[in-house]
Amino acid sequence: MYDSTGRVVYVARAELYNLTADMALDFNAGDIQPDWQADDDDQQIRNQVTASRPGGSTGATYTQTAGPRGTGAIGFYSESLSVNVADDAQLYTHAGWRVGLGTVDDFRLPQIPLNFARSPGLITSWLAAGIGSRITAANPPSELPGGTLDLQVVGYSEYITPRNWAAVLNTVPNRPYTVIVLDGSANTSRLETGGSKLSGAHNSTTTSLSVEVTGTALWDTSDEPWDIDIGGEQITVTAVTGASSPQTFSVTRSVNGVTKSHSDDAAISLWRPSVLAL
């Protein structure tokens, strides 16, 4: 909820799901001015949330133990909140959603300066953007994670003078709002197999991976490309062959700038998988 030209604007949570980007920024093109800021601090971490409701139960608690921001890695970052839901059974999913927001392992960029006098090509997309918009930032500098940054605008300041027009965007990671779509032509979601690993060691340049499926389902052999994560390296799968395990993946390596060899039995998962919507 925010004030806009004398009006109170409310953006519902569901309106933020699976948005296309209103702005596609590029560090290399000079779209983002040098005094940008990025933080990987613990300000917004929440890995244990208890949700209660007025007149309801004492609350339901969701705890994430695994992962780089789980309690097993960094200890407890707890929060309690009250939500207006119809039934106590809904509290656990509300707590889980907020843990998902609080454990996303992405940098937040609280300050992204734009100068429209220097980059007039951004004006049209800026006029279409606003609070709640999704934006991307390609070719980040080496101190940031590789690959295009996926961000959501949560605030901004705008400055207009006779000789200049600039804005400073306040953003958070957009990844939690990429949610699973089960039906319809817009379905771009994919599910894990239940467990996969490399069959044999692979060096940093090979473009054919042998993948052993340890879960309950094989990888789909159609509708490529899609991305996987092996040891922090983002790899694009361009083709899958094989009607039994192990399957063969034809791949493009080092999509996010990470280049490394992988050992036998290295775990394989989807890169940035979609989550269930609240």
Mean pLDDT for the chain?
90
Q: What pLDDT sits at residue 186?
A: 58
Q: Domain locations in the chain?
A: 2-40+107-177, 48-102, 196-266
Q: What is the mean pLDDT of each run of 10 residues along the chain (278 residues)?
A: 84 92 95 92 91 87 90 94 91 94 90 95 93 94 86 94 93 92 67 88 95 90 88 92 94 89 93 84
The phi and psi torsions of 230 (rounded to 5 degrees) equal -125, 110
Q: Which two tokens stand for residue 239?
A: 């083709």
pLDDT tens digit string along 95-150? Answer: 999 999 999 988 889 999 999 999 999 999 999 998 999 999 999 998 888 788 99
The CATH architecture assigned to 2-40+107-177 reads Beta Barrel (2.40)
The phi and psi torsions of 56 (rounded to 5 degrees) equal -105, -150
